[in-house]
Amino acid sequence: MFILLLGAPGAGKGTQGTILAERLGLPKITTGDLLRAAVKAGTPLGREAKRFMDNGQLVPDSVILGLIKDELARPTTAQGAILDGFPRTAPQAELVDRTLAEGGHRLNHILLLEVSDEELVKRIESRAGTEGRSDDTPETIRTRLQVYQRDTAPLIAHYAQRGNVQRVPATGTIEDIATEIKRVIGR
Question: Please, which residues bridge with residue 168 across strands?
Answer: 113
Q: Is 92 exposed, middle or buried (0-12, 13-18, 19+ CB in 10 A)?
A: buried
Q: Is 35 in the site for ligand ADP (CB under 6 A)?
A: yes
* DSSP string covering 87-125: --SHHHHHHHHHHHHHTT--EEEEEEEE--HHHHHHHHH
CB of 59 to ligand ADP, least distance (A): 4
Q: Sketch the per residue contact string, 132 through 171, with ligand ADP: x for CB under 6 A, - otherwise.
A: ---x--------x---------------------------
Sheet containing 28-30: which strands, arranged edge to edge? 28-30, 81-84, 2-6, 107-114, 165-169
Residue 147 CA, distance from chain mean position: 14
Q: Is 58 in the site for ligand ADP (CB under 6 A)?
A: yes
Q: How far apart are CA 180 and CA 187, in angstroms?
A: 11
Instruction: Tabulate helix, strand, coil % of the chain (nearest 5).
Output: 60, 15, 25
Cβ distance to ligand ADP smaller for residue 109 or 144: 144
Cβ distance to ligand ADP smaller for residue 47 or 183: 47
Among 16, 19, 20, 56, binds ligand ADP (CB under 6 A): 56
Q: Is 53 in the site for ligand ADP (CB under 6 A)?
A: yes
Q: Which stretch binds ligand ADP (CB under 6 A): 40-48, 56-64, 103-111, 168-176?
A: 56-64
Q: Is 16 in the site for ligand ADP (CB under 6 A)?
A: no
- Residues 119, 124, 130, 135, Cα dihedral to 10°: -170
Cβ distance to ligand ADP smaller for residue 15 or 166: 15
Question: Residues 61 to 100: which contact ligand ADP by CB under 6 A?
Answer: 64, 85-86, 88, 92
Cβ distance to ligand ADP smaller for residue 14 or 80: 14
Q: How far apart are CA 187 and CA 171, in angstroms?
A: 21
Residues in touch with ligand ADP (CB under 6 A): 9-10, 31-32, 35, 52-53, 56-59, 64, 85-86, 88, 92, 135, 144
